[in-house]
Amino acid sequence: MAGATMDKIVNLCKGRGLIFQGSEVYGGMGNTWDYGPVGVEIKNNVKKLWWKKFVTESENSFGVDAAILMNSKVWEASGHIASFTDPKMDCKKCKSRFRADNLIEEYSKGEIDVDLMSNDEMEKYIAEHKINCPRCGNFDWTPIRQFNMMFETSRGVTDENQNRIYLRPETAQGEFVNFLNVQRSTRAKVPFGIAQIGKAFRNEITPGNFTFRTIEFEQMEHQWFCKEGSDGEFYNDYKKKAHDFLTAIGINPEHLRFHDHEKLAHYAKSACDIQYLYPFGWSELNGIHNRTDYDLTRHQEFSGKSMLYLDPVTNEKFIPYVIEYSIGADRLMLALMCEAYDEEQLENETRVVLHIHPAVAAYKIAVLPLQKNMSEKGREIYRSLVKHFACSYDDAGSIGKRYRRQDEIGTPYCVTIDFETLENDTVTLRDRDSMEQIRLPISEIAAYVNEKITL
């Protein structure tokens, strides 16, 4: 994390094909981002590792992929239509709009618990500390107003038949409304889990921070359905599981902290965030919530369908409690890049390197022929290795510059084809972090690297 700033992360992402501004050729669109060739590989790896941990390796957990567009009654039942709002303020000078809580969080570097503040208290804090408009630098705010964050759209061929629907602001409701379907089709017994990775949309107006808070984002969520009385134990269990996953994929525990909510949502029995120390301060990375039986009870009420679970052992009927674990794929990827970014002072240069966990890295190996006339052998080795894991191939420029390009995107190993390769089928294998090199037979590369990149 040495030397990491948001400007450096953004520049690296654009220059090396990780993340681009959305609709850039048209001047961009605020708070939208496109993942490039390297970025999409890293993000996919993050999602696969999460799914492996919380679905594949989690006994009695099942996945779904629910529709983005849902019956509007879903959002009535969940309370989003009535109360899914954010405290917004407008700058009277430049007419820009910002969330008051975000202004305070960024000014205080995450040290102020905005969840405990009323609108009046937020206005007073902004006035006392004279928090200026991030866009124009002036201090001339409107009072705080509440704005609904959901994107509205409509369906129907003619105006008379149009019905108002919404882009989902979260993926959780897709798990809740499928509780009966999953339980019946899998014959799952409580406790069991339903997981989903999918897009969500919120009408966010923010002062930046790259991919941290955007209007379109991807959530990874796991809902654990359990019996009342066991919920406290499972809540604590998921706090530990969530923390262990983050450290396993390369985040320093010193850059993580639990933040228990003092002001709980009306449906919650307990809730906490795991915060990460981004370059702009401590901010939420994921949340764990004890949602009680609120969600299934509300959907039972609004749909008229019973959400009661029949315990096959005791014959007791009850509506399960839910322990929710939710983490943003985009926020997690940003945290991993901030954590991995490093600037190392070498003898004649500064080396920029992403010390990202090999299991997360976009490419596990870069195949680099020393000279153009070795490309045929290089291509042969590349074609054999891509059957095992993602690789890149680069034969343009000096070998030193090619090493640096791979360092900057976090490729853990480079295979160099040289004159000795043509003689005895061995290659030089270079380690990203230590920059040490070993000689290895071509036939042993895949096994050697597979052992190193396994989480």
- Is residue 1 pLDDT above 80, yes or no? no
Q: Same structural domain for residues 319 and 428?
A: no
Q: Same structural domain for residues 292 and 431?
A: no
- Average pLDDT value for residue range 128-141: 93
Residue 190 lies inside a defined structural domain of this protein: yes
Q: Same structural domain for residues 202 and 316?
A: yes
Domain extent at residue 156? 6-84+149-337
Q: Tell me, what CATH number does 442's domain have? A: 3.40.50.800
The 10s digit of each residue's pLDDT in 373-384 is 999 999 999 999
Residue 19 lies inside a defined structural domain of this protein: yes
Strand extents, DSSP E, 291-340:
309-310, 317-318, 321-328
- Annotate 308-346 with b (16+ C-beta within 10 A) or e (fewer): ebeeeeeeeeebbbbbbbbbbbbbbbbbbbbbbbbeeee
Residue 354 lies inside a defined structural domain of this protein: no
Q: Same structural domain for residues 323 and 196?
A: yes
Q: Same structural domain for residues 373 and 317?
A: no
- pLDDT the model gives residue 331: 96
How far apart are the C-alpha atoms of 365 and 363, rounded to whole Å? 6
Mention every residue, 6+ apart, whose C-beta is less than 8 A from residue 356: 42, 250, 336, 337, 340, 410
- pLDDT the model gives residue 207: 52
Q: Same structural domain for residues 238 and 377?
A: no
- Average pLDDT value for residue range 104-131: 89
Residue 358 lies inside a defined structural domain of this protein: no
Q: What's the whole-model pTM score?
A: 0.90
Looking at the chain, the whole-number percentage of residues with pLDDT higher than 90 is: 82
Q: Number of folded domains in the chain?
A: 2
Q: Same structural domain for residues 12 and 64?
A: yes
Looking at the chain, the whole-number percentage of residues with pLDDT higher than 70 is: 97
